Amino acid sequence: MREDDRKSVRALGLFRDMTQENFDALMTAAYLQRFPAHVELIREGDSADFLYVVVDGGVELFSTSDGKETTLAIVSPVSTFILAATVKDLPFLMSGRTLVQSQVLLIPSVDIRRIFGTDDKFARAIVTELAQCYRVVVKSMKNLKLRTAVERVANYILRLNIRAGRDGIVTLKIGKRNLASLLGMTPENLSRAFNVLQSHGVSVDGVHITISDLDKLAAFAKPNPFIDDMSS
Amino acid sequence: MREDDRKSVRALGLFRDMTQENFDALMTAAYLQRFPAHVELIREGDSADFLYVVVDGGVELFSTSDGKETTLAIVSPVSTFILAATVKDLPFLMSGRTLVQSQVLLIPSVDIRRIFGTDDKFARAIVTELAQCYRVVVKSMKNLKLRTAVERVANYILRLNIRAGRDGIVTLKIGKRNLASLLGMTPENLSRAFNVLQSHGVSVDGVHITISDLDKLAAFAKPNPFIDDMSS
DNA sequence: CATTCCTCTTGATATATATCAATTCTGCTT
DNA sequence: AAGCAGAATTGATATATATCAAGAGGAATG
């Protein structure tokens, strides 16, 4: 494992405050692996033997039932996923596959649970992380139940814009097919949503989105801090 | 606070393992209050000054945006709610109102956070509880994204049946208006969903639901353990 | 450079769900 | 017991979203 990869893992909220000794123990037990694109890393229902950390690339968390499939989250570097299954030692509720070639750190769940029992700072960090995850899903739920498909797309663009520096020029970092599934709609409908948003101050050219009239877009999207704010 | 109420709070996963001393400290700092039906206990965006425990009655957690409203959960006795906001000291993401006359225990968040820092067992219990909450919302999300409205109703009936003893006779414990909102549909559509389910082995008379053909219902609903199992 | 595959887009249509309006039902109050 | 208010149902219709089918563009491959 490269030194700066190790540093970026250490910098995560989850690992930042634990003792150096315990962090080293975790890293020694862990495997850093490189996977090609479109490889299934975990499958819904499997037991949670590892905590996963996306070090490089990107992972899609999705779920399947009765032939249908939906994307539940996109995990970008550097973040962990399936912490809840790991700490509860219960089967995964989601499957996960690489979107592109990715580097993933696999930390054995038994080590996570052992150190959770002995390292107060780590235990506290897990609480913070889980609470954060919970709130993110709740927001996502509200987004889905309280907004139409076009509104969800509009607010997604607004959130991208904030993360990209509020200059009105944003680039889609995931494919439109994935984005559609994440937002709970079909790819065809996403295409049409972009067309609708042309009359609300947005123009889309491939992965490049330009917000020509931010006020107009915001007036349509009606962003809500308790759905869209990433920080709280 | 009555002795058996105190006992049922103590029996909750969250409080079961903490020291008696710390539990007593929490209970001393807490207020047990009785509220009439349809009283708003917490409002989205307010700061989380208390952790709430529904001791008796029932509480609806809901959210509002741009004039629309949706029910996110129904909390039955004896359970806590808004733990995540409490431990992170962040604003509520949901509002909460009593459905019927209810007894609610309010535990000051500062005491929760203080004892979380000193009581290992309590900290561990919070992790378990948050992980559980997280998994429940994820399941709810999958239910919403992977199923049609009628399928959600069918699976809701199946889950009720399991909790009620699998005898094919279940009773709705919440109003149909609330149920519709919880399942992400209109009351009119819930009515029609019940009609559709008549041809799949279900008959509905007011709050009384009879499953006349469990296999037929299950064949239609296609229940999925990673969405519908309460225990995992 | 052409081919192929894949994603994206567009149009036509079907289905799911919501809305509006009108009753009916039900429990509660007086 | 009559009346009332909220809840639930039903029908008619509108809107949102999905599906099916076809075509257009783009990047990888030979």
pLDDT in tens, B80-89: 999 999 999 9
- Helix, strand, or coil (residue A79): strand
- What secondary structure, in 3-state letters, does chain B show? CCHHHHHHHHCCCCCCCCCHHHHHHHHHHCEEEEECCCCEEECCCCCCCEEEEEEECCEEEEEEECCEEEEEEEECCCEEECHHHHHHCCCCCCEEEECCCEEEEEEEHHHHHHHHHHCHHHHHHHHHHHHHHHHHHHHHHHHHHHCCHHHHHHHHHHHHHHHCCCCCEEECCCCHHHHHHHCCCCHHHHHHHHHHHHCCCEEEECCEEEECCHHHHHHHHCCCHHHHCCCC
A190 touches strand C (CB under 7 A): yes
Q: Which of residues 10-29 of B touch A (CB under 8 A)?
A: none
Query: Nearest CA to B116 among B12, B19, B10?
Result: B19
- A:149-188 Cβ neighbours of strand C under 7 Å: 175-177, 187-188
Per residue in B170-192, pLDDT (tens digit) is 999 999 999 999 999 999 999 99
Chain A's closest residue to B225, CA to CA, is: A45
Read off the tokens for A68. 């249908």
From the CA of A148, how many Å to the C1' of D23?
A: 29
Read off the tokens for A80. 């962990």
Per residue in A190-215, pLDDT (tens digit) is 999 999 999 999 999 999 999 999 99
- Asked if residue A232 has pLDDT above 90, the reply is no
Distance between CA B137 and CA A134 in Å, rounded? 8
pLDDT band at B47 (very low <50, low <70, confident <90, very high): very high
The mean per-residue pLDDT over the stretch A148-155 comes to 98
Do the strands A68-75 and B50-56 form a parallel or antiparallel pair, or are they unpaired? unpaired
Identity of residue B65: S
Do the strands B40-42 and B95-98 form a parallel or antiparallel pair, or are they unpaired? antiparallel
pLDDT of residue A231: 87
**Percent of chain B surpassing pLDDT 90:** 97
pLDDT of residue A23: 98
Read off the tokens for A105. 């750190």
Distance between CA A26 and CA B203 in Å, rounded? 55
pLDDT of residue A1: 84
From the CA of B115, how many Å to the C1' of C26?
A: 49
Distance between CA A181 and CA A41 in Å, rounded? 19
Residue A70, C-beta contacts closer than 8 angstroms, at least 6 positions apart = A62, A63, A181, A184, B142, B145, B146
Q: How many residues would you count in chain A?
A: 232
- Asked if residue B20 has pLDDT above 90, the reply is yes
Cβ atoms within 10 Å of B43's Cβ, excluding its own: 13
Read off the tokens for B155. 């699976």
Read off the tokens for A16. 């930042």
The mean per-residue pLDDT over the stretch B134-152 comes to 98
For testing contact with chain A, the best of B122, B145, B181, B230 (most A CBs within 10 A) = B145
On whether any CB of chain B is under 8 Å from the CB of A232, the answer is: yes
- Torsion of the alpha carbons at A62, A65, A68 and A72, rounded to the nearest 10: -20
From the CA of B187, how many Å to the C1' of D28?
A: 52
pLDDT of residue A88: 95
Distance between CA A176 and CA A174 in Å, rounded? 6
The mean per-residue pLDDT over the stretch B20-48 comes to 96
- Asked if residue B1 has pLDDT above 90, the reply is no
* DSSP character string of A132-151: HHHHHHHHHHHHHHHS-HHH
Q: Which of residues 160-219 of B touch A (CB under 8 A)?
A: 184
B149 touches strand C (CB under 7 A): yes
Per residue in A35-70, pLDDT (tens digit) is 999 999 999 999 999 999 999 999 999 999 999 999
Q: Which protein residue lies nearest to nucleotide C20, measured between its Cα and the C1' atom?
A: B188
Q: How many angstroms away from the CA of A183 is the closest CA of chain B?
A: 10
**Which of chain A's residues have a Cβ under 8 Å away from the Cβ of B138?**
72, 84, 93-94, 137
Distance between CA B155 and CA A220 in Å, rounded? 35
As a whole number, the mean pLDDT across chain A is: 96
Read off the tokens for A197. 């948003």
- Asked if residue A176 has pLDDT above 90, the reply is yes
Chain A's closest residue to B220, CA to CA, is: A66
Residue B120, C-beta contacts closer than 8 angstroms, at least 6 positions apart = A120, A123
pLDDT band at A17 (very low <50, low <70, confident <90, very high): very high
Listing from the earlier edge strand, what are the strands of the sheet with B40-42?
B40-42, B95-98, B59-65, B68-75
Backbone angles phi, psi at A123, to 5 degrees: -60, -45
Per residue in A68-112, pLDDT (tens digit) is 999 999 999 999 999 999 999 999 999 999 999 999 999 999 999
Nearest CB to A137: which of B64, B123, B137? B137
- Torsion of the alpha carbons at B51, B55, B57 and B63, rounded to the nearest 10: 10
pLDDT of residue B11: 97
Per residue in B89-140, pLDDT (tens digit) is 999 999 999 999 999 999 999 999 999 999 999 999 999 999 999 999 999 9
**Which of chain B's residues have a Cβ under 8 Å away from the Cβ of A88?**
128, 131-132, 135
Instruction: Check A135 against B90: CB less than 8 A apart.
Output: yes
The mean per-residue pLDDT over the stretch A160-172 comes to 96
Identity of residue B148: T
pLDDT band at B232 (very low <50, low <70, confident <90, very high): confident
The mean per-residue pLDDT over the stretch B29-55 comes to 96
- Asked if residue B209 has pLDDT above 90, the reply is yes
pLDDT of residue B2: 87
Query: Nearest CA to A179 among A204, A152, A205?
Result: A152
Instruction: Check B133 against A134: CB less than 8 A apart.
Output: yes
- A:185-204 Cβ neighbours of strand D under 7 Å: 185-186, 188-189
